[in-house]
Amino acid sequence: MSTLLEPFHSGFFVNAMAIGTMAGALCGLVGVYVVLRGMSYIGHGLSHAITGGAIASFVMHINFYVGAGIWGFVSAMMINRVARRRIIGADAAIGVVTTASFAVGIALISRGHGFTRNFESALFGSILGVTGADLAIVGGVILAVAAIIFFTYRRLLFTTFDPEVAEASGVNTDRIDSLMAFILAGTIVVTMNFLGVLLVAAALVIPAVIARMLTDSFSKMLWMSVVIGALSGAVGIYASWFLNIASGPAIVLTSAALFVVTYAFTGARSMRRLRTADAHL
Amino acid sequence: MSATADLIRLEKVTCAYRSEPVLVNVDLAVPTGAFIGVVGPSGSGKTSLLRVVTGALRPVAGTVSFPSGPIAIGYVPQVETVNWYFPVTVREAVLMARLDGRRVPWSSREERDEADGVLARLGLESLGGRHIRELSGGQQQRVFIARALLRRPKLLLLDEPTSGVDVRTRHEVVHLLHELHHDGLAILVTTHDLNGLAAHLPELVCLNREVIATGSPRKVLNPSVLERTYGAPMEVLTHGGMPVVVETAPTTVVPLREEHHEHPA
């Protein structure tokens, strides 16, 4: 028993557990909209784009959260704009914007600006050195995202389900799209250090997909996804201590295991519900 | 009908997607209590016309006015565009339309009662907790009509409400629309279905980017207007006092065998 509780004697681990749980919950909340709006590929691409922004911020001595946040929001808005013109598809727009943005970061690294030693932890996530400021920032973003979703719940739901009729019913769908881009960029920026650039998209998608397998109600899916995300974060961080693996893979493998268990118990019936999400897995 | 009783009036409206015109010099007035069908081939601008009425598509020329003042408009999309695997129950789908007032996620007792009242009016009172995919075709169509009605509209717009549905569902939809019209609701409906829906409406607009003809089905469902609208010859018969449109078989079909003989291997 004392072995199981051993990690909690470390202040570093308690901070890591808190940040993992909060990051998982935040990704679970935002992931519902990402999955149902078919934005999973945007989530994946944005994490790469924001890496470019993070490196550029480092080189220009700008605060990571400010620089990467602005970079991510601008990238998301550019994807929206290019895709809306319908000359090229959204997937191609994501490919152009995010890879170009990522390439900027790689180019800066190749110029030898000293970011290389942190690159592995950026890719796979690290909970080393989680500070009180990190906890406050992730907590603040959770509160802000929750407040935005709370007060725009009906418009967000309507736009997610049926953008054409929502627009015809007086919803400013352009504003809702921008709001979603802002929320998604903010979520990726504050969680990518702990989950990893390559894995943050999985943390967004998997809890929402599991929740979708369990319910046909949107409101239930929302809170289920938050709980599954938080649980994956907490269990993943705990497992990473004993297995001595990076935090990002541990969290994602935990949620992937939950997906397998859910599938085993709910079977084909739940898979039928996933037709909206299967393209993003 | 006096001009001041028009709910909405389009005058010389032209719309385009990029440089491609989809509507050209369209004049249309929808009076209070009207029941108008818009018919035309695919790509003739029917859905664009509805989008102009809702304000989602802005004309590049012409004017759209509301002579009686701003009105609530209910919009029912084509069921083919609905994501049937989205996680919403019937009641959640209907309550989406209630955007005014409360900013909190959950609905008030009054909102739930009103939604239940609309569902009961459309015969869906026992289905509020069911997922939208679990309903029959006619029930699914009625869910989205219920959502539009919850906005308490003066004008109801429907885009191809009988597209892809079976005969029984079509009868249900036509019957329901006539009931709503009888209750005083103005209705503007687009349709491909000349015999199953358009022929049963009081007034039709034949559209092919521009308005070809307007009037009662007896007046506009004739071979000349239909050929100008659809670009293909059609015959019109009469059955039980109703016009019945019959497609005329093409006269210049080239048999595949002859084509094969012209291009021997």
Residue B234 has pLDDT above 80, yes or no: yes
Mean pLDDT of chain B: 86
How far is the CA of B264 from the CAs of A45, B254, B260, in angstroms?
Answer: 52, 16, 6
pLDDT at residue A65, rounded to an integer:
83
Distance from CA of A35 to the nearest CA of B (A): 10
pLDDT at residue A19, rounded to an integer:
92
Residue A132 has pLDDT above 80, yes or no: yes
Q: Do B96 and A153 touch (CB under 8 A)?
A: no
From B158, which residue of chain A is nearest by alpha-carbon distance?
A165
Residue B22 neighbours by CB under 8 Å, 6+ apart: B15, B16, B45, B48, B209
Q: What pLDDT band is residue B265 in, cutting at 50, 70 and 90? A: very low
Structure-token pair, residue A3: 């072995």
Q: Which of A168, A169, A218 sits opposite B88 (nearest CB)?
A: A218
Distance from CA of A233 to the nearest CA of B (A): 25
pLDDT at residue A120, rounded to an integer:
66
Looking up tokens 């994807």 gives: A79
> Within 10 A of A167 (CB to CB), how many other CB atoms are there?
21
Q: Which of A161, A173, A271, A275 to mutate to test the interface with B (most CBs of B within 10 A)?
A: A161
pTM of this structure: 0.83
In chain B, what residues touch A221 (CB-CB under 8 Å)?
87
d(CA A236, CA A248): 8
pLDDT at residue A277, rounded to an integer:
47
d(CA A211, CA A234): 17
Residue B38 has pLDDT above 80, yes or no: yes
From B53, which residue of chain A is nearest by alpha-carbon distance?
A168
Residue B61 has pLDDT above 90, yes or no: yes
Q: Which contacts (CB < 8 Å, 24+ apart) does range B234-242 have?
A: B242/B199, B242/B200, B242/B217
pLDDT at residue A86, rounded to an integer:
60
Distance from CA of A157 to the nearest CA of B (A): 7
Distance from CA of B47 to the nearest CA of A (A): 11
Q: Which of B55, B87, B103 sits opposite A212 (nearest CB)?
A: B87
3-state secondary structure of B224: helix
Residue B252 has pLDDT above 70, yes or no: no
Q: Which of B92, B96, B98 sits opposite A217 (nearest CB)?
A: B92
Angle between helices A11-36 and A200-214 (to 10 degrees): 60
Question: Could you tell me which residue, B96 or A269, shows the higher pLDDT?
Answer: B96
Distance from CA of B259 to the nearest CA of A (A): 38
Q: Which domains does chain B have, with CATH numbers?
A: 1-71+154-232 (3.40.50.300), 87-153 (no CATH)
pLDDT at residue A234, rounded to an integer:
94
In chain A, what residues touch B73 (CB-CB under 8 Å)?
168
d(CA A91, CA A93): 5
Structure-token pair, residue A145: 């995202």
pLDDT at residue A67, rounded to an integer:
84
Residue A279 has pLDDT above 60, yes or no: no
Q: Do B99 and A158 touch (CB under 8 A)?
A: yes
- Per-residue pLDDT of B173-191, as tens digits, reads 888 999 999 999 999 999 9
In chain A, what residues touch B98 (CB-CB under 8 Å)?
154
Q: Do B87 and A154 touch (CB under 8 A)?
A: no
Question: Could you tell me which residue, A79 or A250, shows the higher pLDDT?
Answer: A250
Q: What pLDDT band is residue A116 in, cutting at 50, 70 and 90? A: low
- Per-residue pLDDT of B131-177, as tens digits, reads 998 888 888 989 999 999 998 999 999 999 988 778 888 888 888 99
The DSSP result for B90-102, as a single string, is: HHHHHHTT--SS-
d(CA B189, CA A227): 45
In chain B, what residues touch A272 (CB-CB under 8 Å)?
85
pLDDT at residue B254, rounded to an integer:
53
From B81, which residue of chain A is nearest by alpha-carbon distance?
A162
From A212, which residue of chain B is nearest by alpha-carbon distance?
B87
Rg of chain A's alpha carbons, rounded to an integer? 19
Q: Do B98 and A212 touch (CB under 8 A)?
A: no
Percent of chain B with pLDDT over 90: 45
Q: What pLDDT band is residue B263 in, cutting at 50, 70 and 90? A: very low
Q: Do A168 and B55 touch (CB under 8 A)?
A: yes
Q: What pLDDT band is residue B25 in, cutting at 50, 70 and 90? A: very high
Residue A20 has pLDDT above 60, yes or no: yes
Distance from CA of B243 to the nearest CA of A (A): 33
Residue A204 has pLDDT above 80, yes or no: yes
Residue B1 has pLDDT above 50, yes or no: no
Mean pLDDT of chain A: 84
Structure-token pair, residue A105: 């970061």
Provide mean pLDDT across the span A137-161: 93
> Within 10 A of B181 (CB to CB), how many other CB atoms are there?
18
Domain spans of chain A, in order of start? 12-280
Residue B202: name the closest of B33, B52, B73 by CA: B33
Provide mean pLDDT across the span A233-238: 92
CA atoms within 13 A on the CB side of A265: 8
pLDDT at residue B165, rounded to an integer:
77
Q: Quick one: A119 exposed, middle or buried, by C-beta within 10 A (0-12, 13-18, 19+)?
A: middle
| Domain over A12-280 is classified CATH 1.10.3470.10 | yes
Residue A140: name the closest of A186, A177, A100 by CA: A186
In chain A, what residues touch B77 (CB-CB under 8 Å)?
162, 164-165
Provide mean pLDDT across the span A19-37: 93
Question: Could you tell me which residue, B17 or A258, shows the higher pLDDT?
Answer: A258
How far is the CA of B122 from the CAs of A100, A162, B109, B113, B179, in angstroms?
Answer: 53, 21, 20, 14, 10
